Structure formats: C-alpha cells, structure tokens
Chains A and B, each alone.
Chain A
Amino acid sequence: MRFVRNILETVFLITAALFVVVPTVRLVLGPLSGWSVSPRASAWALLFSPGTVAILWRNLLLAVVVTAVACIVGTLLAAGLARIRPQQLLWIVPLILAPLLADQLARNYGWYFLLRRDGIINWVAARLAIPGNPFQMLYRLDTVALAIFQGLFPLAVLPVFLFLSQKEARLKTVGMIFGAGWLTIARSVMLPLLVPSILLAVCFIFTASFGYFITPRMLGGDAGLTIAGLIDQRINLILDWSGATALAGVLVIACLPFFLLFLYTFAKLEPVSGFSGVPIISGTRAGWLLRLVILGTIFLLVVSPLLPVAFASFTKSSSLSFPPDGASARWYWKVLTDSDWLRSWCISIAVASISASVTSLLSLGSLAFASRGRFAATVSLMVGALPLMLPPIALAVGLYRTMVGIGLSNEWARLVAGHVLRGLPFPVLSLLLAWKSIDPAMLKAASIYGSDRIWSYWKSLGPHFAPALIIGFLLSWLTSFADLEYALFLSGPNTITLPIRMWGALSYSAEPSVAACAILTTIIGTVLLFMLVRIVASNSRLFTSQ
C-alpha cells in the first residue's frame, strides 16, 4: 500500500511540475522571442491604452454580475437540493451536469432563439399582450450574465451543495431544539457556516467567467467586450504574441485575489465534528411546493436554451434557424453516419475517458501528497486550482511548447495532457474538499489501523472519498468532452474532436448538424449520467436515506 502511495505521489508531482508549473512559468516569463509583430515596449502601451482599460472594467463588471447571480441562485438551489429526498436527487444530479454536455456554441444559439426581437419569449409576450413588448433582451449585461451562469451552473451549485448536505440535518436539528424558526436557522446558523463554501463557489465562478469570451461576444454586444476577446484579437488578427501574453497577465492578475482568497478559505475550512462519513445526504424532506420550485428552476435553467436548439435540429434547410423549415432527420443522419463525424465521436469519447482516468489517478496522488502536511497541502491545492485561473489559450500554448520541447509531440499525448490539465482541478479540489470535511475523530479512529495519515486509511475512509472522486471524474470527463479551446490548439490531424468538428460546421455556415450533435450528446450523456449515478449510489451508499 505504501508503495502504491509513493508511486501515485511521484506521478502526481512529476506531472504537476511538467504539465502545470513549467507551462505556467514559461508562459509568464517565457521566451517571448521572435513572436511579436510589435516590439516588447508596445505591450505595455497596449496594457495601459484607454481601450484596454475600459474593456477591463467592463469585463470585471460582467464577471461580478455573473458571480453575484451564481452565488444567489446557486446557494438557494443548493439549499433546496439538500432538502430533497435522496431518491429524487438521483434524477436531479445528472440534470445539473447536463448543461456541460451541450456544446457551448449550440447553447448560445439557443439563447439567441429565445431572446431575439422576434424570438420565443417576445412571441409569448405578444400573445399575452404584456405591455412594452417586444423587449430588447439581447446585447445586454443581464442576459449575457444569465447565459454565462447557465454554463457554469454546476460549479455554482456543487461546492455549496456538497458542504451543505453534510451539515444541514444536524444543524437544523440543533436549531429546532432551541425552537428557532427556519428563517432564523437560515440566517444565524446556516449562512455563517456556509460562507466558506460560498466563497469557494465565488472563486470558481469569478475566475471561470472572467476568461469567457465566446458567449459574451455572441450575446453581449457592447457589454460583451472582454480581455479574453482582446487576446483572441491579438493572436488571430495581428499575430502579436507578446501583446497577447501581456493581456493574459492582466487576466491572471485580476484573478489573483480570488486565487489567494481561495487558498485562504480552503485552509480555514473547519472540519465538521461528529460527522459520520457515510450518509452524505440525509435530512428532512422539503414540502412539495418547495420541491416544485427548485425542480422547476433547475429545469428552466438547464433546458430552456436547449429546447429551441432541439426543435431547430430537425430542420430541412442547411442553416440553423428557429422556427425550423420543415421537418427531417437529415442532420442526425449526417452526424451519425458521416465518417468524419463518427471518427470524431470516437476520438472525443476516448480522449475524455483516458484523460479523466488520468486526472482521477493524479488527484489520488495529490490527496496522498496533501496529507503530508500544511505546506504539501497548499502545494496540492495550488496545482489543482492553477489551471482554473489561467486563460485556456495561453495555457495551451505553454503546454504545447513544453511538450514539444521535451520530445512528447505525439498529438494524442498532447491532447490528453491538455485535457488532464484542464480537468485536474475538479477531482483534486473535490477530493481535498472531502478531506477537509473529515472529522478529526475519524482520523484518529482510522489511525488505529496503524499507519500514517490519510492514504492508508482507504479501507475506512474509502466510502468518504468515493463520491468526491466520482464527481471529480465526471466533471473532468465532461470538461474534456466539451473542450474546444485546448483541443483547437493541441489536437493534430488525427485527433479532431467533436467540439472542433462542431465549431467548424458552425462558424462557417451555422450548419444544423451542430444542433443535432449537441442534442445527441446531451441525451446520451444524461442517460449515461443517470446510469452511473445509480450504480454509484447502489455501491457506495452515497445516497442513503435515514
């Protein structure tokens, strides 16, 4: 067991050094040689130019609004979820993860169909004769924030939910004993305790949304100008790498406070004493009205942009539109029979499975390493969280340089490494979060087994870590499956993944094959998730009810 532990740790540390730290350092200090059209000095001029500064403010505003929306809605929904019967949760958890499966570009089209001037919402508003219609809903800060939030929904809900589900029952009981009403319990007991996990969600959401540019650009109009968009402009319009790197530095610096806050909050997380470890989700059932509201909200959030896309995918015509022209399954036929598309399906599934397995293995290494002490824990955490903080394109370039530099230029290896990098935060953070929530008494009890720290307690603590590992695996599988940014840069001629294929079809002519593919991936993925959650639940007593 100790041998395995050492191997895992070593693999984790080597991988972390090679694929996370080196690319980042190279990126920041890196050889900016021979890359730029403009001289280095103009990179500074670019940073402090009025345009960049103005866009930075807009970008910050957008990220703050997204974060605020995510915090409020996410916490409320998580609070609601923690009070729903475990059997129903089995249905809901896959639904929460589903938005990650549908292609981001296809979802953007869904929002466009819903929100445009002649769109679905305005059509309904006109039928109901709501005064003021048609509403101008696109190209506004609030709607683009909503669309970004929808894509980050799982990140907003899961940390709070995981934390809450463990505390809810006990605390509520304590509160009830003292005769407090639910509002008092929520305000004076739950909220202060929830602050750390909400802060974690804030860090995730802020840093993730700050680097978004495709959704803001498509739906945001003037409110959608972003630093990441400027980076794209520098790289693709004038091939100015030093300017792009400087702008990436701005992104990193803006996210730095959140990174530090994240490390601090994480270090301060209090273990829950008296936690039994096994029944993660338990507690009282919510009333039917509350359940209806929670489920309804989640359903609306998840499904609303996908429904119009689903309708549009059955069009006869060769461009995506709503309402669709006629009905046919020709685009489904194409996506499922065309040899290029088929190959992409296989590649995407293979790459996602390999990279998610590797990330899970590495995350076990990170857990083992973290248990060595305070400093080691911080290192694990930083490595785990770093990829979330940096713009994907910048990190992808850093990774590419490093891998080609050490001779690992095989396209499969590159793509898998990229997706490992991208997916690593999820299992690492969820495992570390689970570690944080272990009762010290539990550790003591486990130490009776006679060896050191966490790793060798797998027998006793396994059930505690299994759900976190599975959630981490799922999230990294899904991010790999849906990833476009890393794949565009790291894939080679034989590793064209599904998102690249979809991107190609959409950017040239808005081909409905993309809608068909997005719907297929969502349906297949959701079904698989349902099955997986069921298997996990029956195996690990994850969702045992009291």
Chain B
Amino acid sequence: MNSSRQPVPHTAPQGLQLESALALLRQAGQGEPDAPTGSPAWLQAVIDRLVDLSSRDPLTGLSNRRFFELSLAREVDRVARSGESALVLMVDIDHFKRVNDSFGHAAGDLVIQAVGQALADTVRPMDLVARIGGEEFAVMMPNCPAAFGPQVADRVRHRVARSPVTLQDGRQISVTVSVGGAFAPQWVRSTPSLWMQRADLQLYRAKNSGRDRVCLEPSFMPQVSAEEKGLLFSSSTWQDLE
C-alpha cells in the first residue's frame, strides 16, 4: 500500500469532473437524478444510469454486445451446475446492404429498430435480446428444452418476416432474417465465446443454404419414445427375478 495516497472522502466527492457524464445522460434522454446534487445517493444514481447506458445499444434500446457477453458468462456457469438446457440464437437481417443502398441509411436504421422490436416482442421476459453488430442480433434463452429449440427459433424468424417496416415516406418494406442457434453444453464448463461461435457457425449455414431460415446445431439427444420407455421398464423381466 502506498501510505501517501489520499484517503477516500466520506462525503460527496468534490473535484470530480462529471460534466461529460451528465451531458451524456442528458443526451440519452435521462435527466439528473432527484437526490441532492453531489450526495452519495445522487452519485450512485449517476453511476447506475451510466452503467445502464453502457449496457445498451443506442439505436434499438436493446442490450449491447458487452452486456450480452456478460450475461452469457453467467448463464454458462449456471448451466454447468444445473444441467438446464439453454439456447443462444444469432439473428442476421438478410440482404441488409440492399436496404441501405436502395432506401438510404435512415431506412436501414428503421429496419434495424423494427427487427429489434419484433425480436423483443417474440421472446419471453426472461430471455435476453441484444444487438451485437450492425445488422446482427443475439438472443439468449435460459431454460429452453432442446425439443422446443426449432419451434422457438422459427417463431422468431417468422415474426420478423410478417412485420413490414413503414419508411418515413410511407413506403413499406419487408425483410427476412437468418437464424443460427446452439445449446449450451449441459453439465460441462464451457465459455461464452465458444457458445457464440457455435451459434455463429449455424448462422453461416443458414445464410449459405439460402437465407430466411433457421439452422440449429444438431442435438445428440436421441429420441426415446414413451413406448420404448414403457417396454424398458415393463415388469415382466423384473418379476422373473423375484
């Protein structure tokens, strides 16, 4: 420890340069906190709002890549311990460059906002939707059984395709998305980046096989029917033992 270091002030920190932080909050449509200016509560509120701001994508209001990766890391830990099934979807707007080229960047922004909204409207409250790149989104779905994966992913794709975007001049355009998905390996410690890479790989598959479709990493969960289980646990053989 450096003994010459200044002690941390107990009261409101004086001499902090908060002008740009406050300007940023104002620009984001958030005013100053209600608490008395400079009080610890006020400072905490400023920090909380900055944290919130740094977790969001300004265009869509969705979570950004940074926050998504942080949440994914927590989910990886949880899945390793619980064995619960969790799905990550990568969603990419098809032929987005054409939208920008034909209708301009303002129209492109509207399309991105509309797709983000459609995604947010399709998923459960516990799911996390993020914009992780230009026209790329990601969805994390905790507690999503493998059998539901294809259905859930296709609902996302379908919803976007059914929602036309109205441009400023009143024209309507429709876009489609390609979706790639992968489940977290259960009971296994993995990493967020590996999980995203696997979903990304499926997104490339979806793109390469014609777009406007869903590709999920093949699951090795074998289908064992109720009939098979019934026979497996039928008592005849066991009774012979008695």
> Do the two chains bind?
no
Q: Which residues of B does A touch, CB under 8 Å?
A: none
